[in-house]
Amino acid sequence: MAQVIEMPKLSDTMAVGTVVKWHKTKGDTVSNGDILAEIETDKATMELENFDEGVLLDIIVEEGHEAPIGSPLAIVGDQNEDISSLIPSENIKDETTPVEKNKEIKIESSEEKLLSPEVSSSESSLQDIIAEPNILNKNDNERVLASPLAKKIALENNITLSTIKGSGPRGRIIKKDLVKPVESTDETILSAAQPIASYSESSVGILSEKMIPVSNMRKVIASRLLESKTTIPHFYLQKEINAQSIRLARSAINEKLARIQEYTDSQPLKITVNDLILKACAETIKWHPQINTSWEIEEIKYHKDVNLAFGVAIDDGLLTPVIRKADTLSLSSLSGEAKELIEKARTKKLMPEEMIGSTFTVTNLGMFGVDFFNGIINPPNAAILSVGASRKKAVIGPEGNIIAGETMMLGLTCDHRLVDGAVAASFLKSLAENLENPSSMLV
């Protein structure tokens, strides 16, 4: 008997999910344990596992489309089994021709806004809209075989799909054919997806008017940041520190690691400045317990472990994976965990449990050349550390003379319900001492 595969609830805050990719196509034989699809939640991209033996008889939600929890995604059953009663009425295919279907998409959908911003509605005919290259090929008489997500990406980046060779089933154009233009030799993709590369004095820029659906991740980010700024009384401190010591310490550590790896044939490991900052935070927080608290309305919760969250920028926004019990980890172990979480974040493989339970957050925009900024508190944390870029500048030497130096700006944002100014200042002072004298973290 046919079984309906439904949208599962993959996180506590998930309301809807988006089908990023189908790993099986209609008509494929599937077994228990097979991965059917990848589902994007409000936190990460998860795999949809199959639990029924049979054939994938129908795919109800195509790639790039979202569906609420519990709604049907696909149907698995016996070959040639009648599943008409299981298909939602809105998914029953009609006899509309491709051109008529294109008209419906163009005219009735308020979300896709397919009319090119360069051409006003008064200057465009209906035929011009129907024959848009995203939908039809060069001959304007048959549809380009492309996933909905690929069409969406092409529309947003003004890419002509008819010039793209698809790598999916039957030559279908899929997301990966469009999202890595720098690796392609196709000049059409390069010029469309990277208009800045063709910048000249006569260029009018790359601005265009368009409407892009808000992703589940962006909705959650917006909700949490709004809640943070409107319900938490933020206050801010900043401190400029000597960054030369931490840079020299990193170089010395990496030289030693290189020698160790040469003798042991172990996996290469390089410590980053961010690793040292995370380590310094973990070591400092151990002696400033009020920084490691959460507001519980009637109580203040003191956490016994330092669970460090840190920001990882991805295309859809910012993820904050968590290094658990960071205060118990060696520098190399902490660095290894951070690198593993960064890789998972960038490949959308982070599990929901890897992004919850933090007690302190570090956000570093120094790598992007930002000198200083103030982060927004990541609830339920009591504070967040902002790290700016390291800059070479003239400083006052130990004997009062002006010498060449290197400094870095740290910003500390605190929840005033949990942390007072004196407590925050004491923590920031201790953190600066650990960063300016990395050897002090050895005791």
How far from the centroid of its chain's Cα atoms is residue 237's Cα?
28
Question: Do the beta carbons of residue 63 and residue 174 sit within 8 Å?
Answer: yes
Report how far residue 406's alpha carbon sits from residue 392's, in angstroms, rounded to the nearest whole number. Answer: 4
Report how far residue 32's alpha carbon sits from residue 169's, in angstroms, rounded to the nearest whole number. Answer: 23
- Of the candidates 35, 43, 91, 32, the one whose C-alpha atom is nearest the C-alpha of residue 65 is 91
Report how far residue 260's alpha carbon sits from residue 253's, in angstroms, rounded to the nearest whole number. Answer: 11
How far from the centroid of its chain's Cα atoms is residue 43's Cα?
9
**Which candidate in 23, 234, 303, 416 is catalytic?**
416
For residue 409 the two structure tokens come to 């700006």
Other CB atoms closer than 10 Å to residue 100's CB: what's the count?
12
- Of the candidates 233, 238, 282, the one whose C-alpha atom is nearest the C-alpha of residue 411 is 238
Q: Which residues of 366-401 are buried (b: 16+ CB within 10 A; e: fewer)?
A: beeeeebeebbbbbbbbbbbbbbbbeeeeeeeeeee
Question: Do the beta carbons of residue 382 and residue 414 sit within 8 Å?
Answer: yes
Write out the DSSP string of 277-299.
Answer: HHHHHHHHHTT-GGGGEEE-SS-
Q: Is 288 a catalytic residue?
A: no
Report how far residue 181's alpha carbon sits from residue 190's, in angstroms, rounded to the nearest whole number. Answer: 6
- Give the residue carrying structure tokens 């010029």: 191
Nearby residues of 367 by Cβ (< 8 Å), 6 or more positions away = 274, 389
One-letter amino acid identity for 329? L
Catalytic residues, by residue number, are 416
